[in-house]
A and B are shown apart, each in its own frame.
Chain A
Amino acid sequence: MMAALRARAISLFQGILCNSKSNSSALDVRFQVCVTQVRSHKIIQIPRFRHPYWHVRKDRSHYSENLTAENKEFIQETIAKEFGPPTVVSGVQTYGSPVKNVTKVEPVEWFPGIRRTSTIARKIGIQPMWLKDGTRVMCTLLQIVDNHVVKYNPPENVIPLRRREKVVPKKALGRYGALVVGAESADPQEFTKNYCGLFRESGLPPKRRLARFLISPQAVLPPGTPLNAMHYRAGDYVDVTGFTIMRGFQGVMKRWGFKGMRATHGVTKTHRRPGNIGAGGGKARVWPGKKMPGHMGGKTRTLRGLKILRINTEYNVLYVIGQNVPGQINSYTYIHDCLLQHRWVREAKDARPLPTYIPKEGETHPEDIYAADVHPFDGSSIMYEVVDTPTVRTGAKIAKAKGGKK
């Protein structure tokens, strides 16, 4: 009985679907009747987040395909034929063969306001470094993992992302193109067919991570261009964007640093609570943006103005000052050129490799490139110069001397 009912319901539903396809205008009329007109909204409709055009479904369900061992081998062979054998390059698992049909990149002259591409990196750890004057600084290690340019979209085609907080200013529209960069090549079997199709034009193996960076059209890079740590120089300043560590639902003391209330003196059950959250009277409501308990972490945050102390060219690792780069260890981060307008950032901005570092034939680098003020670990121990300081005239003596003159 039930089965029969269910079958009927399904057939009805399918009928509606077919109907909607064949005769959509009739359906629209029906729906229009249903809509109740709303004259005014108290809250203004905020533009909703629009997914990037290249956001296709990435993950597929890994069901058992019952392939024979020979067939599996054949698939691996085909992949190897297309992208080269699986190898480890500078500590990252990737495929061996170079990307086909990459047009040569020509250096570009710097002009004020030019914006280069950013890169995708993994935060791999934290360690101390010492400066030449003996100061100990903590730095974060960011490994640029197998980055390649996937696609370029010219400014006229760029649809800016719209977020709740930020609406892209009109000035920026049509000014920057979008460069899609991918990180960490992976087995194509991991992803959906649609996702793998994104990489067909560039001839790259599918990438684990994709990101879209806004760049000046002059600093464009052809698809397939590799990006590595030499894109930056030791001593440069960068902004690092990451996804902060998830902390779950937290109270105001942990989430916003409220002080809480006293442990004793008659306080009952309100030791870690926020207290008053609004005034009475005319404004008898809670103001928008009031700091309250809620979900903490798991947000995209940018730390600006971090100095690169050292670059490891073998493993493509940037040693960036600071131990508070957002994100967990082994999570992805994005490294941008610093947007701050401070003097210390602006200095020598024009000497950056533009549009990216172009390797010359027969050119070799030292494995580690240090910023000018950083002490290399294989350097000799720091010794301070013994200076014969003249006896400092302190306050009392000066006063005495002044008094004596009078």
Chain B
Amino acid sequence: MASCLSRLCLTSRLGGKTMRTIGCRGLNTSHISMMPKSSSSESTTDNSVEKESSKKRGKSTQVPSYEQGKVSRSGVELRFKYPEMFPEPHMIWRNPIKEKLERKDMLARRSRIYIPEFYVGSVLRVSLSNFHQADKTSTFVGICIQRNECGLKANFILRNVIDNLGVEVKIELYDPRLLKIEVLRLEKRLDTHLRYLRDAPHEFSTFPLDMKPEIRRTDDVPLNRIKVKLNPRPWTENWYKYDFKGIDNIEDQITNKMNRRRIQLRKPWEKYDMMKTYRETLPEEEINEILSEIKEDVEEHEQKHRRRIN
């Protein structure tokens, strides 16, 4: 109870907004989609505020930049760089020793294969050994529409349109069958998942199979503010129930009854629900502790793979 109270104090000290940017689980998208994160402009300001405040408090977890002349990022931002390294904040499933062992395994795998930084909305090329193929390997290019689960269970879904057919493949991030993950376009989108691309026109999820990686100028990850137009109903899921930032024409597509339901389901008060925030987020101290544990190893592996590529 005491720890609970102290965490609550922390939440109140940081304020709801900052807390959301720090510890939002961001992985279990089905849950988050009901309450999407604050819009991009807000979040950027939040980050800047967070940076300042962390400097003031002297708690800044400054990471040495891995490329010279690039802006280094704070620990809070790094939390989203390796989202699967952080446990699900549900108390009944947590055990510190298991989490430690799992992190060790993840780092062991990262020493073998370069798992780059990518987000929902980034375009990836994944090559893996496939028993069923003639040459025993297969490659898939697509946009990452979802990232799921924490720890070794972590997986993501790639989507592409090939021969006018929308195809999706779910890939396990720590599977030893994975040979290479290549980021062709590194960017973020407005929503925590893009499953609605299934009901959007094909042009929004078409990527050439021989796409070449785009050159990155800065260390920052750009935010793509593109808004998709959904096809007319029926849809695969009831998108009207959620507030998606990346859908343009949802109100034109739904009936009045649906619109009423859509407004009913809005929960604007949830951002003030401190207990909910507490339950669904990791405290900043814990994030920094985990980061300090994994940071050196992850960066070492990253540099090693970088050297190998160059």
Chain A: residues with CB nearer than 8 A to chain B? 91, 124-125, 127-128, 130, 134, 136, 141, 143, 312, 315, 317, 328-330, 375-386
Q: Is A136 touching B175 in the complex (CB atoms < 8 A)?
A: yes
Q: Is B93 touching A134 in the complex (CB atoms < 8 A)?
A: no
Q: Is A315 touching B101 in the complex (CB atoms < 8 A)?
A: yes
Q: Is B176 touching A127 in the complex (CB atoms < 8 A)?
A: no
Some 28 contacts from A to B, beta carbons below 8 A apart, are: A91-B96, A91-B100, A124-B95, A125-B93, A127-B98, A127-B102, A127-B151, A128-B153, A134-B131, A134-B175, A134-B176, A141-B101, A312-B101, A317-B97, A317-B101, A329-B92, A329-B95, A377-B105, A378-B109, A378-B111, A381-B177, A381-B178, A382-B177, A383-B136, A383-B179, A384-B129, A384-B130, A386-B134
Bound-state Cα–Cα, A376 to B174, Å: 12
Given contacts A381-B176, A381-B177, is CB(A127)–CB(B152) below 8 Å? yes
Q: Is A124 touching B98 in the complex (CB atoms < 8 A)?
A: yes
Q: Is A328 touching B98 in the complex (CB atoms < 8 A)?
A: no
In the complex, what's the smallest C-beta–C-beta distance from B259 to chain A, in angstroms? 28
Q: Is A384 touching B136 in the complex (CB atoms < 8 A)?
A: yes
Contacts of A317 in B (CB 8 A): 97, 101
Contacts of B98 in A (CB 8 A): 124-125, 127, 141
Q: Is B136 touching A385 in the complex (CB atoms < 8 A)?
A: yes
Chain B: number of interface residues, binned into ranges: 20 to 34
Q: Is A379 touching B136 in the complex (CB atoms < 8 A)?
A: no
B112 in contact (CB, < 8 A): yes
Q: Is A377 touching B129 in the complex (CB atoms < 8 A)?
A: no
Q: Is A375 touching B176 in the complex (CB atoms < 8 A)?
A: yes
A-B contacts, CB under 8 A, total: 81
In the complex, what's the smallest C-beta–C-beta distance from B108 to chain A, in angstroms? 4
Q: C-beta contact mask, B111-144 vs A, less than 8 Å → 1, else 0? A: 1110000000000000001110011100000000
Contacts of A375 in B (CB 8 A): 176
In the complex, what's the smallest C-beta–C-beta distance from B104 to chain A, in angstroms? 8
Contacts of A125 in B (CB 8 A): 93, 95, 98-99, 102
B172 in contact (CB, < 8 A): yes
User: For chain A, what secondary structure do more than half of its interface residues adopt (helix, strand, loop), or is it mixed?
Assistant: loop
Contacts of A382 in B (CB 8 A): 129, 176-177
Q: Which residue of chain B has the shortest Cβ distance to A389 in the bound complex?
A: B134
Bound-state Cα–Cα, A75 to B94, Å: 33
In the complex, what's the smallest C-beta–C-beta distance from B178 to chain A, in angstroms? 7
Contacts of B134 in A (CB 8 A): 386
Contacts of B153 in A (CB 8 A): 127-128
| Contact pick for A378, options B100, B112, B130, B152, CB 8 Å | B112
In the complex, what's the smallest C-beta–C-beta distance from B112 to chain A, in angstroms? 6
Q: Is B109 touching A136 in the complex (CB atoms < 8 A)?
A: no
Q: Is B113 touching A381 in the complex (CB atoms < 8 A)?
A: yes
Q: Quick one: which of B167-203 are within 8 Å of A by CB?
A: 172, 174-179
Bound-state Cα–Cα, A114 to B7, Å: 53
Q: Is B136 touching A377 in the complex (CB atoms < 8 A)?
A: no
Q: Is B177 touching A377 in the complex (CB atoms < 8 A)?
A: no
In the complex, what's the smallest C-beta–C-beta distance from B71 to chain A, in angstroms? 33
In the complex, what's the smallest C-beta–C-beta distance from B94 to chain A, in angstroms? 8
- If A127-B152, A315-B97, A377-B174 are given as contacts, then 6 extra A-B residue pairs at C-beta distance below 8 Å, sorted by A number, are A128-B172, A134-B131, A330-B95, A377-B105, A384-B129, A384-B131
Bound-state Cα–Cα, A386 to B109, Å: 24
Bound-state Cα–Cα, A143 to B96, Å: 12
Contacts of B106 in A (CB 8 A): 377
Q: Quick one: which of B149-176 are within 8 Å of A by CB?
A: 151-153, 172, 174-176
Q: Is A128 touching B112 in the complex (CB atoms < 8 A)?
A: no
Contacts of A315 in B (CB 8 A): 97, 101
Contacts of B94 in A (CB 8 A): 329
Contacts of B136 in A (CB 8 A): 383-386
9 smallest beta-carbon distances between A and B, as pairs: A125-B98, A378-B108, A384-B136, A377-B108, A124-B95, A124-B98, A377-B105, A91-B97, A382-B176
Given contacts A127-B151, A128-B153, A130-B175, is CB(A381)–CB(B112) below 8 Å? yes
Bound-state Cα–Cα, A125 to B105, Å: 14
Given contacts A328-B92, A381-B177, A381-B178, is CB(A124)–CB(B97) below 8 Å? yes
Contacts of B111 in A (CB 8 A): 378
Q: Is A379 touching B92 in the complex (CB atoms < 8 A)?
A: no
User: Which of B96, B152, B153, B177 has the most chain A CB within a 10 Å cutoff?
Assistant: B177
Bound-state Cα–Cα, A383 to B130, Å: 8
Contacts of A329 in B (CB 8 A): 92-95
Bound-state Cα–Cα, A136 to B171, Å: 12
